[in-house]
Structure 1
Amino acid sequence: MLIPDLPLRTGRLVLRAFTRDDLAVVRDYRGRAEVTRFLYHEPYDDAAARAAIDRLVRRTALREPGDVLNLAVTLADTGGFVGDVLLNWTSGEHRQGEIGYVAHPDHTGRGYMTEAARQMLRLGFDGLGLHRIVGRLDARNAPSERLLRRLGMRREAHLRENEFVKGEWADELVYALLAREWQAAA
């Protein structure tokens, strides 16, 4: 079980629980086609943003396998919204997890999401005691692939046309990191 002491802070960022006050910003960045291009959902309209906020505000702890921790990423100096990160506890028996992230397009290219995702790896390995954490992505999403590599994750699989997403077959890449690799890099 992991109930993090929120907010989490890095050199430049604050990772905090979502609140209902985040509705407008979630609607804004998740409502953009360029943001959702490689995600499973279409751009959010008002109803989808409200439904997302209802989920996000409850995702503040990992009490059992299947739980998801989802945190808003903001700039420490201004409070500007950078995006969100998640850690999904996918298996208790096998001590597995998955990280994910979605960047606000106004804040890409500065390493913010790498910094935030690194915190999620830390929570998974050091806080929850996971053995292995994966990151899955659409194979066309080159910026996301570069982020996973910066985190020290290695490509384990390239699955050809394994998912039918938004009317087309898509390839999926799977990256992973083991706890011992995380510790060796620390």
Structure 2
Amino acid sequence: MGFPWDFRPLQGERVRLDLLRDDDLEPLFAMQSDPEVCRYLLYEPRSRAQVADVLRRDAAATRLENPGDYLQPVIRDADGRFCGTMYFELKAGAPDSTAEIGWILLPGARGRGYAREAAGLLLDLAFGELGLHRVYAELDPRNDASVALCEALGMRHEGRFIEHMWLKGEWTDTGHYAILEREWAITRGRRA
């Protein structure tokens, strides 16, 4: 296992995963205050002050070592523009070796493959350098774009928890998708 792992930028063909920085406040606020973006998230649209606190907290999350450690890197396009954020949390160390992955995009960055490439960079890290066995995503199954991304990444639909949580005034389901290291190797082989 490659722990501890200290964050360093991850470069893809069209995107780069980088740490949050102070000048990301405006696009982060635009994303996290948008009711449509927040529709399937666990939180309501946030105020500027809340987003500033989130930026400070998440910018400081730079190391994966123990269960509960997480990263919230920014997805930047080839020109360095903020497109969204990824989420990657170490859930269990050896021998279970599991992490959770997630993503949020600005509306203008959707449909361009940025989230797929960014998630691929994190899955390469997870199953390569970090030596993890399993990565999963939990999402609202009404979020068609996230379901499609999970499927495009080769993640398996493992289940749907009916009325799993009371959220934003209603009972909501939770969809569970996952991929194992050996499955990612096959998916990467098909895409290469």
TM-score, structure 2 normalization:
0.92
What letter matches 2:69 in structure 1?
D
Aligned to 2:160: 158
- Unmatched segments (≥5 aa) in structure 1: none
User: What SS does structure 2 have at the residue aligned with 1:39?
Assistant: coil
What letter matches 1:22 in structure 2?
D
> Deviation at 1:5?
5.6
Aligned to 1:87: 88
Percent of aligned positions with the same letter in both sequences?
A: 37
Question: How many pairs does the alignment contain?
Answer: 185
C-alpha RMSD over aligned residues: 1.2
User: What SS does structure 2 have at the residue aligned with 1:176?
Assistant: strand
What letter matches 1:157 in structure 2?
G
Q: In 2, distance between residues paired with 1:5 and 1:175?
A: 25
Q: In 2, distance between residues paired with 1:127 and 1:104?
A: 29
Distance 1:120 1:2, change over 3 A: farther
- Unmatched segments (≥5 aa) in structure 2: none
2:23 corresponds, among 16, 21, 24, to: 21
User: What SS does structure 2 have at the residue aligned with 1:42?
Assistant: coil
1:167 corresponds, among 166, 169, 183, to: 169
User: What SS does structure 2 have at the residue aligned with 1:65?
Assistant: coil
What letter matches 2:82 in structure 1?
F
Aligned to 2:32: 30
1:61 aligns with 2:63: yes
1:41-99 deviation digits (Å, cap 9, x = unpaired): 111111210111011111222121110011001111x2221101121100114111110
What letter matches 2:170 in structure 1?
E
Q: In 1, distance between residues paired with 2:99 and 2:17?
A: 19
* Contact 1:65/1:92 (8 A) holds in 2: yes
> Deviation at 1:184?
2.6
Aligned to 1:42: 44
What letter matches 1:141 in structure 2?
N
* Contact 1:87/1:124 (8 A) holds in 2: no
Q: Note the 1:109-148 alignment, pairs <5 A.
A: 109-148=111-150
* Contact 2:7/2:63 (8 A) holds in 1: no
1:11-43 deviation digits (Å, cap 9, x = unpaired): 111110111221111111111001010001111
Moved over 6 A (4+): none
